[in-house]
Amino acid sequence: MAVKKTTPKPKTQPKTNEKKGFVSTLTRWLWKAFIWFNSISLFFVILYKFVPVPFTPLMVIRHFENSAEGKNIETRHDWVPLEDISKNLQKAVIASEDARFFDHNGLDFSAMQKAAVENFKGKKLKGGSTITQQTAKNVFLWQGRSYFRKALEAYYTILIELIWGKERILEVYLNSIEMGDGIYGAQAATQHWYDKDCKSLTRMQAAGIAAILPNPRKFKPNGSAYIRKKQSKVARYILMTKLKY
């Protein structure tokens, strides 16, 4: 009677160990990346609570965009403390960009829901971004609408709300936001558009600057009929806006 020989099964242990080793290495790498990212981001958020923001990612991006298009546009960015920025302008940007600035914690979910409904109805695309979100994007991130960038924006929004507070957020916002082609911040914008210091802005002048913020590279204060209409509206809201800090 013949004895049936059995072929031994190949050992799979090395492959299993290799797979476990890869997962373990990837997990350690991701954990280290997470720790480094949080440490670096926290460092800069704390740093910018006390020192002026020297430049933003958008300034760098615009510089290379203009260079690629053959434009020689000088970047103007003059940092001034909040007390040297007209209260008219402070109120104007709140009235125009984020009326509930002092009432939310950085993320205005009611505004997001309203924007989502308007966009679903096919009306003009709206983002529902607060001043805090815009500040987080301007100072730490790049322009775009990807979910990844929005997640980072939410992360930085929460951080600066917790660490900076409303007064510092408004100060950084007014010193960093794009207010014209190569123009960043309230002082540079006021000197460019009105040839004066931002501390002495009138209510209508402040409303004019706030009115162009959706697209400051396209619009000019007192330019089109659309801007003049918006300027008048913002000027009225300035009278009803209170600074709560």
CATH code, domain with 67: 1.10.3810.10
**Contact status, residue 213 vs residue 240, Cβ threshold 8 Å:** no
In a domain, residue 119? The reply is: yes
Distance CA 17, CA 240 (A): 68
SS3 182: coil
Distance CA 42, CA 167 (A): 19
In a domain, residue 27? The reply is: no
Distance CA 130, CA 107 (A): 7
The overall pTM is greater than 0.95: no
Q: Dihedral, CA atoms, 135, 140, 144, 149, nearest 10 degrees?
A: -110
What pLDDT is attached to residue 22?
72
What pLDDT is attached to residue 108?
82
Q: Check whether 236 has a pLDDT greater than 90.
A: yes
Q: What is the span of the domain harbouring residue 149?
A: 54-240
In a domain, residue 156? The reply is: yes
Distances (CA, A) of 13 to 25, 114, 186: 18, 56, 66
Number of domains in the chain: 1
In a domain, residue 87? The reply is: yes
**How does pLDDT run across 123-135, given as a tens digit for each residue?**
555 556 999 999 9
**Lookup: tokens for 43:** 């460092």
In a domain, residue 48? The reply is: no
In a domain, residue 106? The reply is: yes
In a domain, residue 76? The reply is: yes
Q: Check whether 165 has a pLDDT greater than 60.
A: yes
Edge-to-edge order in the sheet of strand 183-184: 76-77, 183-184, 178-180
Distance CA 195, CA 237 (A): 25
In a domain, residue 29? The reply is: no
Average pLDDT taken over every residue of the chain: 88
